[in-house]
Structure 1
């Protein structure tokens, strides 16, 4: 397949490397000359966005705020278009004029950015959300699902709305919480004593500011909802801590519920199942936590989370 990748940072660069390694005809574009020079050692690059039109698939891997510009560059393009942004409803609006747009989001990354951090194996075994809307062409969706599973990703069918709600709660709010934790420990003694808990809880506070700003701008409503729920939980915890001089049971019960849920993550995959390539069946599979590992002509094969016996 001839694949054009617009944007060669961590994710776009990793997409291009993975597809080139798999034998696809890849051409990359990035507005930064230094990035193009680095990428040129691995696959062909171009300084002209118009050159991306000579492809079967265009992958928009630019930062969220630049998706509108990429969409304009691809005006009149007749190939399949997808993206990798962490906000899907906003991406769909940016590419509304492209009838073959299928939104996507690989759930993989690092706190470091740029082509220097890209790697071909970044997506192996990782979920890759592929949006399936009422007007999505199922053939285009399946073609992308086959492509991403061929480089080791596990495709999760979802609507843009379902994705954005989940992403706000398992990624976007975590970036703000990590930043808040850094801010409340901003004194010399605390920073000197900080160790594993601080490191793990604040890792994504080292992410590029533009990435986090894009999450807040592009997924505002769902992020506000997630922050409200988080605030409710923290208020519960504050109340339990305030009452702990008299009794420790409430904070223990509150924490135990979270500890039990955390100990069961990530969910253990169950046996392989076949899923018909039909919108309703695919979305039901995704909402149940399923991940597709291969996509055939009429069915996809994947795994649902294993249901643990309560007996």
Structure 2
């Protein structure tokens, strides 16, 4: 492709999920991407998937992307700044203040460093899970600081835009505070809830629905990586969890004595506060808003889901989201289709006329 913004040779250090996905996306646009990694086998796997090529003696990268765990990010950034004195260096670690402070303390050339963080990922890591479109439509934080000019950092914005992401400027401290709320604390909450399932009986777990899957999905994330992320942003995460703990204690007390005068109000207020909070989560393309879900029963056989999606398109309806659930006892599945509210009733009517069975959405 020749419509890319980025013209520099790009070197990626670290070939896990993010590094390999960046490499795949840039390579698909014709960028000369160099992939390096402390592990030759990990690097070889990313190259085999198409994330770039192996390093060569005459490489002269204009932009270097460091995609390594948070506990070694500053070390690798400093080494790359020294090795390539003309290159601009960024990192994609999920914490931003600690690496910046560490680099400043060791006297690194901050005029060529700008930390960033793509708000994208998957539960499974590694190059085998990498996708060229991982960042499309996702926010990508640019953690600016006084040591670098906007013009010097232009290639980083070009990279972000070439990968289809949305650059958002935010200083390092605000970034860490924000991701503690929307990413790091939710990871712990999901993991704590999922851990309760270890003692559940097979009969109980067989009743699991989409609500449980939604609230525990990210609990399958890599523990070793998350220990590093949470350790690097520990203070901000703790600030989110303390009031959550207080709220949970109040709900437990209300459940211990549900007939007490204030108990039902405490429970109701807690649920209502959750309604308010979830309504603030941005929807598709960043706008605030809630969508209406239609649940369609589909036979668990080849071609049925494709037929459903085709017929939704034929009705002229834009699908905002899709989730699938399989029934553990029968050969049917359920497709939860999210659409804008005004499209819900006409689409439901049309699908029923086409022979589909609609169910009530689980809450």
Instruction: Indicate whether the TM-score tops 0.5.
Output: yes
Cα distance in 1 for residues equivalent to 2:148 and 2:257: 53
Q: CA deviation at 1:47?
A: 6.5
Over 3 Å counting, the alpha-carbon distance change for 1:261 and 1:174 in structure 2 is: closer
User: Are 2:100 and 1:86 aligned?
Assistant: no
User: Are 2:109 and 1:103 aligned?
Assistant: no
Q: CA deviation at 1:54?
A: 2.0
Q: CA deviation at 1:53?
A: 6.5
Over 3 Å counting, the alpha-carbon distance change for 1:52 and 1:180 in structure 2 is: farther
Cα distance in 2 for residues equivalent to 1:238 and 1:215: 30
Deviation track 1:120-150 (CA, whole Å, cap 9, x = no partner) reads 1000000000011233322133431232022
Cα distance in 2 for residues equivalent to 1:235 and 1:141: 47
| Among candidates 66, 73, 76, match of residue 70 of structure 1 | 76
Deviation track 1:4-58 (CA, whole Å, cap 9, x = no partner) reads 000011011001111111221110112223322222232543368xx69620011
3-state SS in 1 of match to 2:217: helix
Q: CA deviation at 1:218?
A: 0.7
Q: Which has the higher contact order (CA 8 A, sep 6+)?
A: 1
Larger-gyration structure (1/2): 2
Tell me which stretches of 4 or more aligned residues in structure 1 moved more than 6 Å.
none
3-state SS in 2 of match to 1:139: coil
3-state SS in 2 of match to 1:244: coil
Q: Which runs of 5+ in 1 are unaligned?
A: 271-311
Cα distance in 2 for residues equivalent to 1:17 and 1:265: 29
Q: Which runs of 5+ in 2 are unaligned?
A: 1-7, 288-363
| Among candidates 254, 259, 265, match of residue 249 of structure 1 | 265
Q: CA deviation at 1:227?
A: 1.5
| Among candidates 4, 18, 25, match of residue 11 of structure 2 | 4
Cα distance in 2 for residues equivalent to 1:257 and 1:52: 58
| Among candidates 40, 58, 61, match of residue 64 of structure 2 | 58
Residue aligning to 1:237: 251
TM-score, normalised to structure 2, is 0.68
Most deviating of 168-177 and 62-71: 62-71
Aligned residues: 268
Residue aligning to 1:27: 34
Superposed CA RMSD: 2.2
Deviation track 1:173-210 (CA, whole Å, cap 9, x = no partner) reads 11111121122232141444433222221111211112
Residue aligning to 1:197: 211
TM-score, normalised to structure 1, is 0.79
